[in-house]
Amino acid sequence: MSVDFSGRVAIVTGAGNGLGRSHALELAKRGAKVVVNDLGGARDGTGASSAAADEVVKLITDAGGEAFAHGANVAKFDEVEDMVKQTMERWGRVDILINNAGILRDKSFSKMELADFQLVMDVHVMGTVNCTKAVWEIMKEQQYGRIVMTTSSSGLYGNFGQTNYGAAKMAVIGLMNTLVLEGQKYDIRVNALAPTAGTRMTEDLMPEEILAMLKPESVTAGAMTLVTDDAPNKFILCAGAGGYAASKIVETDGIFLPESEQSPEAVLAQWDAVVASEGERELESGAKQSEKFLTKAMQALQGA
């Protein structure tokens, strides 16, 4: 099956370097018109420059594609709105949004300033919210949309020195989970990418020989599967160094305790049953958890 994006319009944030650059180039190579968004700041979010985004646009247009650069700071909604407005004026639709822009301000939680925590949350969480909000009604009206959240193993599993980054990257999973429910009837599909790649964000964190294996292009191969017409929905794809895997949030079947037995001692006494993997499953929504527990309670009452 050939993946083709002819006729599609895509916005890629943080597309001047690293993963975003790779995503933008591949989308354009496969026929999409691409908005190359990049503030052009340093890894910690300071500074600004259009040079990197302009270079990506030149690569696309020199190859016969269509693209333009926009330097919106994704943490500022008015700038994001302007980017989407220019996209609509030029091409009349937005089919794909890859939320990729990000910064790092790593320190142990003890040493981290709250300002550094807030800035990372602003860029990763509110940046993703702002861009998604700016295209949401457009996608609803056109009855089509493909949105990618960029999460991380730091959020899914934890990573020392990245409380701010990990919190932000897990927050976008919560955003995805609810947007999936709200966008379903409009064929808006929302997925998440958990990448491992050698980029500006990781260049001084890993040995050179390892970085050489972690090419952004290998992650992009996975990212493209999340924005096709046949894309999945509510899927967390982990990708890096040629490896591809799914990460899932599951809930065990658990136990039921009658009111007279609802104590910490009773819960601890049945801990093995609480954590038993048999019967665990992914839940379609938070309401399904309530439904499960209430069903257990009703069954217990009926059996009494």
Torsion of CA 93, 228, 143, 124, to 10 degrees: -70
Q: Is 108 exposed, middle or buried, given 0-12, 13-18 or 19+ CB atoms closer than 10 A?
A: exposed
**For residues 289 and 170, what is the distance between their CA atoms, to the nearest angstrom?**
20
Residues 6 or more apart whose Cβ sits within 8 Å of residue 218: 197, 239, 240, 241, 242
Residue 165 catalytic? yes
Q: How many residues does the chain have?
A: 304
**For residues 155 and 192, what is the distance between their CA atoms, to the nearest angstrom?**
12
Residues 6 or more apart whose Cβ sits within 8 Å of residue 287: none
Residues 6 or more apart whose Cβ sits within 8 Å of residue 187: 143, 144, 145
Task: Give the active site residue among 144, 165, 186, 244.
Answer: 165
Nearest to 38 by CA among 47, 27, 29: 47
Contact 179, 146 (CB under 8 A): no
What are the tokens at 288? 């399904």
Strands 243-247 and 236-240: antiparallel
Residues 6 or more apart whose Cβ sits within 8 Å of residue 291: none
**For residues 165 and 171, what is the distance between their CA atoms, to the nearest angstrom?**
10
Residue 294 amino acid letter: L
Catalytic positions are: 165
